[in-house]
């Protein structure tokens, strides 16, 4: 084995990883605490914890806590998948939506809203009262599901299958093949969504546009548990392959020479990133720039080592999206309405990314 190849992977320190995780875990915990404590209506946490029957307790348990947890999970999923894809595709401009997963999820969710399926739970719940016990329980279980999320998740999985099938070159998935197939599928999905917009009734169009802009809602704790299992599992799979991803980011030949099963690892990384994105987008719609901006900022601090960058991106993305959603809620008195959090992330992320891009260009030129 060529010793020079061994030097291609960045040096790694478990102590450095521990410091990064502790710092960003504290930042995430503070972000969640702020997201719970602050909002349009003042909330007394002491009352919420001491009086189970209080309004403060109801707001905490039913509204602010699930929304903050949703933001944390979705932000982590988008940021960690963005960091992995940027290394895997060897493209710092890659983001979690580049593989067509977002296009499939958006198309599935848009179709559900355009067909009025988002009203299905409200229709089914009253019907359960007049049914036998077994049918009533099944109907209430069905009513608890979100048709929009189910359609979006199904659309994301279908898009992943199409992209992976179309992106094969020589019998295996390649970064450029998957990237090209994802771009083409996203273009198709955008055209289909535009068609749905033109055919959707005006009373449904507002809900459709709001969902496509990306918004955090108030999910049930069962939904949050399912999302947590998917996001944690996907993140763990990506971090497990961080060493191989370091080698892949330096070139396929080096990775092969060092014993990496490139096709299998690449397929595993693509699938884990796609599952994380599909899980997030299914519940929130399209929230941009989290997976693009957060890894870029953290890379300036930590460097390119994926063993540091992937866990840091998960925690950093969680904190960023929770704070962005808090910003949207605090702006409610000013705007007179609550804008989707995807609008704020785009407004913040666009200029910030251009600044980072210019700074990086200046460093390379120097």
Q: Where are the alpha helices (DSSP H) in 241-339?
A: 242-249, 252-257, 262-284, 290-302, 306-330, 332-335
What is the CA angle 294-295-299, rounded to 5?
A: 120
pLDDT given at position 143: 44
pLDDT given at position 139: 43
pLDDT given at position 7: 45
pLDDT given at position 93: 77
pLDDT given at position 124: 46
- Give the chain's domains with CATH numbers: 3-365 (1.10.3470.10)
pLDDT given at position 90: 80
pLDDT given at position 141: 43
Residue 335: partners with Cβ closer than 8 Å, 6 or more residues away: none
151/120 Cα distance (integer angstroms): 13
pLDDT given at position 97: 82
Mean pLDDT per block of 10 residues along the chain (366 residues) reads 48 85 96 89 82 87 93 96 89 80 89 78 52 50 64 88 79 78 90 91 85 87 89 95 87 78 86 91 89 91 92 97 92 78 87 74 56
pLDDT given at position 66: 94
Sign of the CA dihedral running 176, 178, 180, 183: negative
pLDDT given at position 2: 43
């Amino acid at each position: 084995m060529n010793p020079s190849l061994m030097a291609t992977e960045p040096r790694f320190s478990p102590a450095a990883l521990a410091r990064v995780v502790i710092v960003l875990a504290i930042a995430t915990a503070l972000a969640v605490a702020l997201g719970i404590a602050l909002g349009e209506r003042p909330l007394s946490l002491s009352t919420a914890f001491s009086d189970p029957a209080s309004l403060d307790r109801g707001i905490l348990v039913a509204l602010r806590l699930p929304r903050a947890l949703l933001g944390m999970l979705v932000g982590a999923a988008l940021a960690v998948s963005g960091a992995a894809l940027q290394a895997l595709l060897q493209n710092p401009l890659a983001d979690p939506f580049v593989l067509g997963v977002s296009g499939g999820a958006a198309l599935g969710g848009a179709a559900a809203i355009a067909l009025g399926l988002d009203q299905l739970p409200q229709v089914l719940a009253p019907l359960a009262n007049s049914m036998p016990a077994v049918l009533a329980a099944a109907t209430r279980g069905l009513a608890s599901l979100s048709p929009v999320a189910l359609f979006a998740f199904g659309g994301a999985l279908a898009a992943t299958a199409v992209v992976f099938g179309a992106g094969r070159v020589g019998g295996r998935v390649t970064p450029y093949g998957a990237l090209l197939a994802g771009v083409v599928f996203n273009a198709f999905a955008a055209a289909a969504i535009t068609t749905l917009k033109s055919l959707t009734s005006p009373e449904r169009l507002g809900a459709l546009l709001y969902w496509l802009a990306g918004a955090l809602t108030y999910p049930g704790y069962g939904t949050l548990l399912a999302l947590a299992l998917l996001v944690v599992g996907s993140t763990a799979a990506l971090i497990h392959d961080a060493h191989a991803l370091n080698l892949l980011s330096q070139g396929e030949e080096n990775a092969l020479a060092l014993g990496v099963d490139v096709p299998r690892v690449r397929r595993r990384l693509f699938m884990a990133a796609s599952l994380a994105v599909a899980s997030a987008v299914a519940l929130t719609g399209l929230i941009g720039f989290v997976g693009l901006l957060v890894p870029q900022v953290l890379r300036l601090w930590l460097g390119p080592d994926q063993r540091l960058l992937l866990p840091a991106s998960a925690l950093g993305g969680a904190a960023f999206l929770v704070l962005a959603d808090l910003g949207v809620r605090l702006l409610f008195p000013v705007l007179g309405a609550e804008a989707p959090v995807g609008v704020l992330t785009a407004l913040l992320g666009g200029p910030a990314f251009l600044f980072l891009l210019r700074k990086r260009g200046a460093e390379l030129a120097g």
